[in-house]
Amino acid sequence: MKRIFSLFTALCLAVLAVGLTCPAVQAGPKVIKIAFTNFPEHPQGQAFALFKKELEVRSNGAFKVELIGSGKFGNPESIVQGLQMGVLQIGAESTSNFSVFDPRLMLFDMPYLIPSYKAADLILDGPIGKTLAAGLEKNGCLGLGYMELGFRQVFSIRPVRSLANNKGLKIRATPSKAHIAILRSLGMSPTPMAWGEVYTALQQKTIDGIDVDLNLGWFWRFPEITRYLTLSRHFYTPHLVLISKRFWKSLSAGEQALIKTVMDEAIAFERARSRANEHDFIVRLKSEQGMEIIELPPQELRRWMDAAHPVPLEFRKAVPAELVQSVITTIRNAGLYPPELQPADYQ
């Protein structure tokens, strides 16, 4: 028995010795899979490529980022489910599409609340934006901030110079009830249609136009088949960037801080690039595409605003009037509404 015990002890010591002398097995990098809607050339795609590059370099390879763009991961529900299950670590979608999880995100679908990009930054990066982003925590997601699509403008095959010109304008609409309500309030005839069908429908004149931000309009080549661009700016669309709560909690404080810093830089880059593109695209739409750019004068824009004013009241159960009013008050107190384009109160 003593001999057996001695042999067992000797074996244990040998194993221990090997464990002490052999080099430790190095863990691989932590993988961050990011799902987003737009394609690599879009400012959003460029911003996530920047995030990938910077995080991998600054973490000395501790993180590896995989990008799943062009909507390849699936719809907004799939993104949130992926974050919940740990299949994804980061996902981004428009607030309009994420509103199925928190209806208050329909705030950004309300017309003429946001008058400028400076006002958008004030709301997104302030208490209101942070409160809304926190609404998906119950779904296992934490907000990292907002990228953006920008303001909706009208690409059309016939000129839209006034509210009266909207009458009978068949315009592509998303399934969003708020989007349809806005278009109707402006006198248009909204036609719900899948995104992939829009180009052909414009080509064949099944519809007369589409309202979309300038970056998507440019990259989807709508200027090739439309003659007019009306800068109506009837609502502003952000893209909310979410991170899996489970993944976030698995990180050290230092890792969390690094991800937040690099994402803040990517968001700032995305907004700046998107806005610079708009200025460039308007110039090129005139010179290269021969489009007519219609800038609505303040008195005409006021008519559009007044026509759309009742829309938030239709959605007050989803978007409380006090939330809409808080946006108006915040922007008004900052002096960011032009005097002639002050929105009416909702309280």
Number of domains in the chain: 2
Share the mean pLDDT of the chain.
Answer: 92
Q: Which of 280, 297, 312 is at the close of a domain?
A: 280
Cα–Cα–Cα angle for 207, 186, 338, rounded to 5 degrees: 125
User: Do both 38 and 65 map to the same domain?
Assistant: yes
What is the token pair recorded at 27? 């863990």
User: Residues 56, 123: one domain?
Assistant: yes
pLDDT category, 16, cuts 50, 70, 90? very low
How far CA 22 is from CA of 10, 11, 26, 28, in Å, comes to 18, 16, 12, 18
Q: What is the CATH number of the domain that holds 89?
A: 3.40.190.170
pLDDT band for position 347 (cuts 50, 70, 90): low
* Residue 138 shares a structural domain with residue 214: no
Give buried/exposed letters for 95-128 (b at 16+ CB in 10 A, else e).
bbbbbebbebbbbbbbbbbbbebebbbbbbeeeb
Could you tell me what percent of the chain has a pLDDT over 70?
92
* 3-class secondary-structure state, position 93: strand
Q: Examine the pLDDT at 23 and tell me if it is beyond 70.
A: no
- Give the whole-number percent of the chain exceeding pLDDT 90: 90
Based on the domain organization, do 129 and 168 belong to the same domain?
A: no
Q: In this structure, is residue 70 part of a structural domain?
A: yes
Report which of 150, 154, 192 is spatially closest to residue 277, judged by C-alpha positions: 150
Does residue 20 form part of some domain? no
Residues 164 and 272 in one domain: no
Q: Is the pLDDT at 9 greater than 50, yes or no?
A: no
pLDDT of residue 25: 42
Residue 346: the pLDDT is 83
Domain limits at 169? 153-235+289-341
What pTM, to 2 d.p., does this model score? Answer: 0.90
Domain co-membership, 136 together with 268: yes
Helix (H, G, I), strand (E, B) or coil at 188: coil
More confident residue, 82 or 20: 82
Do 258 and 55 form a contact (C-beta atoms < 8 A)? yes
Tell me the per-residue pLDDT of 198-218, one tens digit each, with 9 for 90 and over. 999 999 999 999 999 999 999
* pLDDT tens digits, 313-338: 999 999 999 999 999 999 999 999 99
What is the arrangement of strands in the sheet containing 63-68, beginning at the earlier edge strand? 63-68, 30-35, 90-94, 236-244, 141-151
> Residues 194, 213: one domain?
yes
pLDDT per residue as tens digits for the range 40-99: 999 999 999 999 999 999 999 999 999 999 999 999 999 999 999 999 999 999 999 999
